[in-house]
Every structure is written in structure tokens, then in C-alpha cells.
Amino acid sequence: MRVLFLGDVVGRVGREAVTDHLPGVIRGLSPDFVVCNGENAAGGFGITGKICRELYDAGVDVITTGNHIWDQREIITYIETDPNLLRPLNFPEGTPGRGIGVYQTRNGHRVAVLNVMCRLFMDPLDDPFAAVERAIESLMLGDTVDFILIDLHGEATSEKMAFGHAFDGRVSLVVGTHTHIPTADTMVLEHGSAYQSDAGMCGDYDSVIGMKKDSPVERFTRKMPTPRLEAAEGEGTLCGVFVETDDATGLAIRVEPLRKGGRLSQVMPDA
């Protein structure tokens, strides 16, 4: 089967990159399932129910998030009503929402999506390795589910790579989010799991990780208060990862980066 994952959607420009480009990408690549990280979709800070519906209308099936999930307060109650919106699995017990879902595609395949957050340079959370171990105990790739996708939201590439190797051969795709920069390590690991340290962002790359440049630059060059960060407003890039798996095993046959629109070099997988 074929699955498309899109990196962090940042602000209005990121949403427009999805709504403008994703329908055509779906027609060209015919993915069975589409997942995107939407935690920065509301002006760079969080997501709303209205934005969720906008992304679903564009062709997204499931939305993952991360440390900015609660920035828009309305989402605290909304997330309980939307099984296709996930928050990190290793948040404390009792946190609203869910960190894993199993979904059926239009052609009958079953896709498990797990959203988990790293710990290096991030909030102190439960162990992501142990959380995923427990979550996948009942999921047998190629049997009970056809595809297992893990959105690994974190800063450190070392932690992400260690995670990828820890679950290699037991999941279909481990893909990083959060840093908003696409890495060049798209590959199939030794035991058949697709991997990329960070999928990049859907947003304006003439920016500082999707934000207008002046305020972040001033923060780094002067130890003075600066205005609140604002999402950049130039042309956006649709940025993500495309995976094709063996239907018998659920493991990757190929994985390729995808970049369409905006300033980055353009990459489109073969249909």
C-alpha cells in the first residue's frame, strides 16, 4: 500500500500549501492514506477544529501533533470529539485525547498511526520507547494491521535515529517532526522500516522555521524582549515523505521525500 506523510503545517501559508497542492499529489500518486502534523497550523501555534476540517477536506485522513497541541484552548474539548486528531501518546495519564488510532482505508487496509514525543531538549515526558512498545503489543504488522506509522516529534536526530533502529522491522514508517527542516536521510532501514529524521514543514522556507525572520534573528543577536513570533507569509512548500509497502509484510519497498512549491528544490516521487 501507499502512504503519504506531510510535515508540520505552519500557519495560513502551510495550510494553503496543503489545500493547493495535496489534491493534485493525491491524483498523481494515489496514496491509500494521508497523515500530516498540524500542531502549528493556527498561526504557528496549535490547531483548531475548523482547521482540522479544512485539512480533512483537502485529503488528509489523520492529523498528528506535538508540544504545541494545547496552544489553542478550544482544542482541549474538541480533541475528545475527533478520533482522527492525535496528541503524543506519552503525555501523562488522564490527558485529553488519544495518541494512537487504527483506521480503515477506502480499499479496506488497516493503518495504525502513533504520535509520540521525544525527551531530549523537550518536555519531561514518559519514556517514548516504552510507550510505543506497550502500544504495539497488540498490533501485528502484515496481519492485524497493514501499515504502522509513527510520528516521532522531537529535537535530537540521535534520539530519533535510535528510535528508528529500535523499532526497525516492526513498523512501516518512523518519521520525525518538530524541527521544520527536511533531513536528507530518507531510507529503508536494515529490517525493512522506512525512516526519515524529519519530514520538514509545510510552510514558507524564507523564514526561521516558518516564522517571520526579524524577531527570531533579534532574539539570537540581542538579549532583549522581542515581539511575539508570527508565521511567515510567503509562498509555501508542501513537504513530506511517501512510502510504498509490501502488502504481505507491511514493510517498506521504497520511501522518497516529497517537496512541491515554494523555495526548496522540487522532488516528486514516481507514480
The structure's pTM equals: 0.96
Buried b vs exposed e over 96-113: b needs ≥16 C-beta within 10 Å?
ebbbbbebebeeebbbbb
**21 catalytic residue (yes or no):** no
Q: pLDDT digits over 7-29, tens only? A: 999 999 999 999 999 999 999 99
* Rounded CA separation 32/34 (Å): 7
**pLDDT on residue 146:** 98
Residue type, 64: T
Domains belonging to the chain, first-starting first, are 2-260 (3.60.21.10)
- Helix (H/G/I), strand (E/B), else coil: 101: strand
Q: Write the Ramachandran bin of 12: left for phi over 0, alpha for psi from -120 to 50, otherwise beta.
A: alpha
End-to-end CA distance of the chain: give it in Å, rounded: 13
**CA 270 to chain centroid:** 22
Name the grid cell of 135: 502500544
**pLDDT, tens digit (0-9, with 9 covering 90-100), for 147-183:** 999 999 999 999 999 999 999 999 999 999 999 999 9
Query: Which residue in the list 21, 68, 109, 180 is annotated as catalytic?
Result: 68
